[in-house]
Structure 1
Amino acid sequence: MVFLCGAGVSAPQLPNFENLVRQVYASVGEERTPAEEHAFSVGRYEEALGALARRLVRADDVIDATAEILRVPAEPDITHHTLILRLSRDGIGRPAVVTTNFDTFFERSLMQSYSPEFATAESAAGQDIPAPGSSRFHGIVHLQWKAL
């Protein structure tokens, strides 16, 4: 069994994408333009953020605000992540989780259960993602989204 996990597993410690965009706009003190509001209303949050960044004098304000909002707590609650990893284990104990999350809460859970080396070996993103169904398809697979 493979678990597919999104932002909800890390809530309320980190916002979902919609709330992140709301918070970024508030942080930089801007209102959405009509075009940005349309993108936001149809769930194209990355489009709204990109448009905001392009119209600001200092586009890095969006990145700085996002980084601040997504600052991980020093002692995050990884109870849900630990449970999902345990439930997703195959016959020889390897977890299989696919996540759209960019946080490392699943890896932190593995580090507490095993070791930092195991957590690193069991995590993949980008070109390192193993082919689905292959013998290497296990661990924590991060699906990446380019927001800006």
Structure 2
Amino acid sequence: MKTNSYLLSILVDDEPGVLSRIAGLFSGRGFNIDSLSVANTAEPEVSRITMVTNCEPHIIEQIKKQLHKLINVITVTDLTDKKYVQRQLALIKVNAQPEKKADILRIVDIFRCKIVDVGLSHYTIEVSGDNEKHDAIISLLNPMGIIEIASTGSIALARENGK
């Protein structure tokens, strides 16, 4: 069976244990969460969980129904087939040997990134963008020697008239 990637935006009550129950729903059914981001919204007692998962099309319907049944879940929106703005943030620490520094700086400039830390032998680069941008810069920095990567999960909001 073919699996697809799904992007879910879930509004929940901002209370202890809500994220644990949602993660438990996934793990209890053997589903993987590929990306997860949680933060407050403009409403003080509501949080937004943005989640990416890969599964078969009929499984995502089961997941959404199960999420709707959970206490403290306000809404579940599947953004996958809608118009949306999606971003993630990554910090990439890369070897900055003298002979590669100019190449790294060109890549940073082309991708409109920022160098946020400089060491004797490394640069830490801040990248904000969609998954394709992250994949592209990582593939260009790999030959330089990526030391480590820390990345947020995807965050997304539907566009106006996002159908």
* Higher strand proportion (structure 1 or 2): 2
TM-score of the two chains, using structure 1 as the length reference: 0.25
Structure with max Cα Rg: 2
TM-score of the two chains, using structure 2 as the length reference: 0.23
